[in-house]
Amino acid sequence: MLVNNLIDMIQILITYGVLFIILPAYVLYPVFKEKALSYRVFAYLLYSNLYISVLVFILGYSHLFYTPAVVIMLLLPLVYRTWTYRDNLQKAGITTYEMLRGYFGGHLYLKRIRQNIKRKYHKFYQRAIRGKVLEYLVFLALVLVVMNFYGYYKLHNNAYGVSDEEVHLYWIQALIGGDFFVSGMYPFGMHSVMTVLALISGLPAGRVVHVFSATILILTMATVYMLFRRFYTARVLIFASMLIWLLSGFGGINTYFRFQFTLPMEYGLFALFAVIYFMTEYIYQKERKTLLLFGTAICITFFSHFYLTMFVAFVCVAFGIANLVPIFKNKTFFPLVGTAIGSIIFSLVPFVVGLVLGYPFEQSIAWAIGVMNKDYSTPTEEGLPPEIAKVDFTNFKEVEKRFFDAMNSWGGLGRLEYTILLSLIGLSLLLCIIAIIVTRKNKSNTAFRFYLGMAIAWCFAAGLSDLTMLGYSALIEEKRVIEWVFIFGMTAFMTPFEIIYQMVCFILKKVKFIPIFLSIASVVVVIYIGYDYKYQKQERTCMQIQTEAAAKLCRELVDEYPKNSWTVVSPVNETSIVLNYGYHYELLDLADKLDHWSEDQLFTIPTKDVFFVIEKYPVMFLGVDVMDKNSLEGREKISRADLREPLGEYSEAEKSLIYQTQRSAIMARAYYWAKEYAKQYPHEMKVYYEDKETIIYHLEQNEYALNNLSIQY
């Protein structure tokens, strides 16, 4: 399992790198060849993601989403770029022809090729590798250490670790099967990417979704690093702050647990960082291509998750405040605002088209609006709890208490951590303002304004996470906002050191000992926070909503059995995995038929192989913590007493709810029926797999003389 999942992770990471960096580099390099490496990588990521998203919308709405159509559309930019290279290709063809005719020898021909390759490699080495090998190795080591924590569950398990993954996989499988927006319209950025990855890599969509979280985490780390590397001179500070953010226990589980899973908002974080990168670049460089990339980044956040775009608005305001003078001095205010508005309009077009074509919005969009409209200031019948009554802003002590309560409730910060973080943010704000005033005519002013923008953005994020505690409606769910609070809070551990370093260098012109001091100081900070106070991340919330045995079975069937030759009879959770490969029959429907048994009843499942997945210890409503070695404790084993519980009435849409409330009753019916059926038909029905938690029966039948599954047990 570990090796297979690791191979899948590497395969998807490589495929992603080829599709979203290497091939876009081939197409777009002439446009951005004079730009820095970080600029180009951001550009390649943004334009490739936008192209894939638009491609999926077009093919999905036109009902032409098939693998050949996707491949052709992916090849079009490459064909176009190759066509623009036609003069060079023509020269190469003439040279090859002349060599074959004997005008000059093959030795000279090969020598020219070697020289050309050597020249390009030398250019690449000078721009991207020279002096950075150690930096890349340190970053790689950091990635491996971080993946050991965040990727542990995905490497050692096959089952869903969070219920959202099941839903997202179902949408992707439906899209591959030609059913676009099967549950309604939703930001489909990540889904489009994973669908294309599945088609190109050849991996089943279930395995892509399972391991794509590793790509998301590495992408987030790389783009965070590129953004900070652009403005911070001390690389060791960046590594230290990333360690604090990702590995130290500075912050509760809400600040990091989502990075363990494949979730759309986390995927779009690279676009959030790109918005900051290109907005800052445009303010000072005022290039049209940079402005277009700024707008593209906003589009990608919109296609990833609406919440992310809402926060982007606050981030843009934060950096607008930090760069207020340069924005108006360089006349970039109206281009930035116009591009932002235009990007939102462009992003809305696919959804407007969907509404015209009759697609409704997915139900979670209504849930998000419900979160925003919830009024915490209106008394309930029981009376309004005082802690969420609207706060009196003239009472500073009460405001501070509410703010701490929010940081403690959502972010898991104790009073000490809270004080450290607020003190560092306050110090950053103060030092930024002083540095901007002192260096107002110096180039380094750009970096100081970036630091100020990050600190202001942190204040906005912290404020958004505190709205319900202040008695107001939440604009964005607090458990999501708190993640951004800690991402932007990274700068609090860098900015004071960085500003002191730059100010000393500005005053004394050249100070050799400062980088050494920064290295030592940052290491001390990491040790202080990571070990002295025992702040080390321990919790991994991985709540399995299906058994590991069920997920492993489905993976084996998808990989090893012929398509559409088998059926899995189990709860609804396995539907997403087997879609497009085999059939799924609801265990609830089986239980219902068994309850209505009669002597003349005929009940068959028309495939050669049928697998019955039955939980002896039913999975609990909110899932089972797989990290808990005693996960079976507290869960009752099914018994004949569960057979006496009548199944409630349900509609097709309510099946998942019945599993939540009557899972034991359903499993008991299936368990005792399967046991009796195997006794009556021992040659056809056998135990395929069994562990303490689950038993799986395999029925192998004659397709032309199907077994009647209706028996009295």
Give per-residue pLDDT as tens, 574-610: 999 999 999 999 999 898 888 888 878 888 999 999 9
As to burial, measured by CB atoms within 10 angstroms (0-12 exposed, 13-18 middle, 19+ buried), residue 310 is middle
CA distances 205 to 46, 210, 580, 598, Å, are 23, 8, 10, 41
Range with the lowest mean pLDDT among 7-21, 32-46, 147-161, 377-391? 377-391
Q: Which residues contact 311 (CB under 8 A, 6 or more apart)?
A: 272, 461, 464, 476, 481, 484
Amino acid in position 609: D
566-570: strand order across its sheet: 583-586, 566-570, 609-615, 694-700, 685-690
pLDDT value for 534: 46
As to burial, measured by CB atoms within 10 angstroms (0-12 exposed, 13-18 middle, 19+ buried), residue 210 is buried
Return the closest-CA partner of residue 551 out of 574, 568, 572, 571: 574
* Band (92; pLDDT cuts 50, 70, 90): low
Return the closest-CA partner of residue 133 out of 245, 244, 18, 235: 235
pLDDT value for 90: 67
- State how far Cα 656 lies from the chain centre: 25
User: Looking up tokens 């192989």, which residue turns up?
Assistant: 609
pLDDT value for 383: 38
Identify the H or E element spanning 121.
helix 106-124
User: Looking up tokens 């509410």, which residue turns up?
Assistant: 402
* Residues 160/573, Cβ–Cβ less than 8 Å: yes
d(CA 47, CA 274): 12
d(CA 453, CA 275): 12
pLDDT tens digits along 307-357: 999 999 999 999 999 999 999 999 999 999 999 999 999 999 999 999 999
DSSP state of 561: S
pLDDT tens digits along 473-531: 778 888 888 888 889 988 888 888 888 777 776 666 555 555 555 556 655 655 555 44
CA distances 229 to 36, 113, 269, 552, Å, are 11, 36, 17, 42
d(CA 568, CA 582): 8
Q: At what angle do helices 189-201 and 67-84 cross, to 10 degrees?
A: 90
Residues forming a β-bridge with 248: 536
**In degrees rounded to 5, what are phi and psi of residue 626?**
-70, -20
* Residues 216/267, Cβ–Cβ less than 8 Å: yes
DSSP state of 702: B
- How confident is the model over 544-568, as a mean pLDDT? 91
Identify the H or E element spanning 586.
strand 583-586
* Residues 297/50, Cβ–Cβ less than 8 Å: no
* Residues 530/244, Cβ–Cβ less than 8 Å: yes
Residues forming a β-bridge with 624: 544
